[in-house]
Each structure stands twice: as structure tokens, then as C-alpha cells.
Chains A and B, each alone.
Chain A
Amino acid sequence: MKLDTAKILQKKKKQILELWMKTQLVDFSLREDLMSNDELSGQSEELVDALLQTLNTASLDDAQADAFEPVRDVLDGISLSRAKQGYSPRETGMFVFSLKDALLGVLQQELKNEPVQLYEESMKISRLIDNFGIATFETFIKGREEVILRQTDEITEISTPVIRVWDGILAMPIIGTLDSSRTQVVMENLLQQIVDTSSTIAILDISGVPAVDSLVAQHLIKTVSATRLMGAECIISGIRPEIAQTVVHLGIDLSGIITKSSLASALKHAYGLLQLEVRKSIANKS
């Protein structure tokens, strides 16, 4: 008599789960720091439940079948949460692949006397689990990408602070590549702050910009022009020696712009423009 694999596996659910947990717990890649054993067994049970339930309706032959959608949903959830918790894709992959051992172990016991069927069913289960494993990789990468995108957004937001260094003097350190979208953010923030604080001098510090090419220079020139239109003077500081040489070779004309090598000298220049003086106080204790 030919035994039904789905039925066998459903009957042996508890055993499968036990076997699976055992393999996972002895595995050296077990990350107790990231997830407690209870959570792990919760996840494992959820996956086994979903898998065995769908085995009723779905055929083992076609791992891509829509009938496995619920299993894939559970897997998606697991790998997404693992990606966020900091698991490596290998660890998540091993989690799924170790289920194969458990399933095959049980099957082997039950189909001891049917080698041909055992072989056929084993192949099918292998294919199915391999497919699930690949699905977790895909979701894992998607999860990581979401994290990266969120961080990119955060960086753009926090990377262009406008600092009020003195009454009427604003400073804006630019760190990283100055591309078109960054320039837009920089210009908006700067112009808005000029209005808000009624400043007359803005210092753009480009010490943190790795390379100044013609596009970056063009963006800088535009920002300076816009600041001047608002009635404020714009000083560009943080021009490093190698940047100065490169700009000259490129043939960019920055002579219409006040440029300084350091933020300190820009600030000094700004004090001069505002007719302020910074002096050492004379000790009058005597």
C-alpha cells in the first residue's frame, strides 16, 4: 500500500518539531543573543503548522504553486524580522534548511520499507525546502534594503545642519557628496534660516566634501548667487590645497566668491564685515 506523505507528516507533526528544534539547538550558529529559545520554537512551530496545513491542498510536486502562499507569507514575516534583528542570511537560510533534515528524518522512519517511494518523496521535499530557502534570501535582502533606504533618508535629513555661530552669522558644514538633490536641500535650509534669523552672512564649509568637480562648483555658485539675492553675503570655507589645485586645473572661475581655507578664517572675515572685533580680555584683577 502506498502511504500518503502529507498524512504521514501531519501525523508526526510533534516529532518533526522536536527533531527540528533539536537540530537547531545543537547548531553552533544558534544566536541566543538575538532570540530566546521560546521565540525560536514559536517561529518554528508557526512555520511547521503553516507547511503541514497547506500540504492538504497543495501538491508536493510544484513548489511554486499558489497553494504554498500561506507558507511563503509566514517565511516572509520570519526573514523580515530576522533581517531587522541582525541575523546573517546564512543563519536565516540554515534555519529553513534544517527543517529539511527533520522532515526527511521522520519520512525515513515511516517509509523504511518503501525505498522507491522514500526516494521520490525525499526529492520532492528537498526541492520544496530549497525553494523556501531561496524565498527567505529574497525577503531577507528586501528587508535589509528597507533598512538602508531608511538610513539614507535619515542621513540626508541630518547631514545639512545650519548653525548660528554668531548674531547674524550662519555656518553650514557640508559633509559628503554634493549632488543635485543635496544642493537643493542645502539651499532651501540655508535660505530659510537666513530669513528666520535675519542673518547677513552665511558660511558654507566644504571641508567634508571629498571632491569638487564642475557640477559641485556649479551648485556652489548657484547657492552663493541665491544667498546674495536674499541680501546676505556667502563665504565658502574649507578649501583644501588639493581641491584648490584641482579647481584651477578644471578651469572653474570662483574669483567672484569669497573663499577661505578654514572655517576660522571665514569667521574672522565675517567679523570684519560686521565690524566686530575679538580681543583677549585684559586681566583687571590687580
Chain B
Amino acid sequence: MIVLSSDKIPISKELDMVVFRNRLKELAVKIGMGLVNQTKLITAASELSRNMLRYANGGTVLMEIIKGPTQNGLRITFSDKGPGIADITQAMRDGFSTGKSLGLGLPGAKRLVSDFEIKSTVGKGTTIIITKWKNG
């Protein structure tokens, strides 16, 4: 897959999330993504970056515009060096939360995007890659 542009920003406090969301919105508008898909992507990104902030004390996000077989899209990589997730299947279940939240962040984010990939090693950190196609 061809990466057309990439942009990396750190997330270490809640204010960074606002910056991140705005940047993401700019990119989504740039590739001509519709309003509904924009909102879905931004919401998913917001869930994942908040998880990073809450459970791993922050991390970095990499935003890339990618050229797919038929259309362009955005690929976002969230990486943190937090405690990691012991049981990913459990974490991906609706309503499961180790915090006091609704437990919809991970499964909800997966439903909002076109492609969702999660890798986690306990004690080392978690990496989540999401992709949203322009009309996906």
C-alpha cells in the first residue's frame, strides 16, 4: 500500500486529543471523506486515544493517508508503552471494562472503522492500527 503522507503526534494530556482530532478532521476533509465517515473515524480515534491516555499514560499516534486499490483512506496507528492487554478477546467484548467506563471503546471503535488490527504484549505495550476508506 502506498503512503501518501504521514504525520506523527504525541498524546500525553487531554488537550493533545483535541489537537489530534482537529488534525485528523483536516486530513479526512482533504481526502474528501463524507461527514458520516469523518465522524465515525474521529469518534473511533477519540476512543482509542483516550484509552491510551487512561490506561497507558499516553503514547503516540501516526496518521497516514494511504492509497488503496480503489480509493484513498486514512490509516492511524496508536502505539503506547503501557501495561498491555492480557486477554484481547475479553477486551474486545461489549461492556467489558477494567476501568469504570461503558466498555464500548475497543469493540465500538472496531465497528466504526473499515479495518482494525490490535497487537499487545503484557508489560510492553499495545499497538492498534485502524484504517478507514474514504467511502468505506
Chain B residues with CB under 8 A of A179: 14
A50-58, A239-247, A255-263, A273-281: which lies at the interface: A239-247
A218 within 8 A of B: yes
How does the 8 Å CB contact mask read for A165-198 relative to B, with 1 for contact and 0 for none? 0000000000001010000000000000000000
Contacts of B84 in A (CB 8 A): none
> B21 to A249, Cβ gap below 8 A?
no
B104 and A251 form a contact (CB under 8 A): yes
A102 at interface by CB-CB < 8 Å = no
With A and B bound together, what is the CA distance between A245 and B34 in angstroms?
Answer: 13
Contact among B36, B39, B42, B108 for A214, CB-based, below 8 A:
B108
Instruction: Known A245-B36, A250-B111, A251-B107; judge A211-B101 contact (CB<8 A).
Output: no
A245 and B50 in contact (CB under 8 A), knowing A211-B21, A218-B102, A250-B104? no
Determine whether the beta carbon of A249 is less than 8 Å from that of B108: yes
B16-53 vs A, CB cutoff 8 Å, 1 = contact: the mask equals 01100100000000000001101110110011001000
Tell me which of A217, A218, A242 contacts B35 (CB under 8 A): A242
Chain A's closest residue to B35 (CB) is: A242
Number of interface residues of A (CB under 8 A): 19
- CB of A249 within 8 A of CB of B112, answer yes
The verdict on B105 contacting chain A, using a C-beta distance below 8 Å, is yes
The CA of A213 and the CA of B102, in the complex, are separated in Å by 11
Whether B107 pairs with A211 at a CB distance below 8 angstroms is: no
Interface residue? B115 (CB, 8 A): no
Chain A interface SS verdict (over half): helix
Closest to B105 in A: A214
Interface centre among B39, B107, B109 (most CB of A within 10 A): B39
Of chain B, the residue at the smallest CB distance from A217 is B102
Rounded to whole Å, the gap between the CB of A143 and the closest CB of chain B is 19
Decide if B7 is an interface residue (CB 8 Å cutoff): no
Give the complex CA separation of A215 and B14 in angstroms: 13
Q: How far is the CA of A251 from the CA of B101 in the complex (A)?
A: 13
CA distance A105 to B42 in the complex (A): 58
Residue A267, interface by CB 8 Å:
no
- Contact for B38 among A214, A242, A251, A252, CB less than 8 A: A242
Q: Is the C-beta of A231 less than 8 angstroms from some C-beta in chain B?
A: no
Binary flags per residue of A220-253, CB closer than 8 Å to B gives 1, else 0: 0000000000000000000001110110011110
Interface check A212, CB cutoff 8 A: yes
Q: Are A211 and B50 in contact (CB under 8 A)?
A: no
Does A272 count as interface, using CB distance less than 8 angstroms? no
Query: With A251-B104, A252-B102 known to touch, is A215 a contact of B39 (CB < 8 Å)?
Result: no
In addition to A213-B50, A215-B50, A250-B104, 13 A-B residue pairs with Cβ atoms within 8 Å of each other are A179-B14, A214-B104, A217-B102, A242-B36, A242-B39, A245-B40, A246-B40, A249-B108, A249-B111, A250-B108, A250-B111, A250-B112, A251-B108
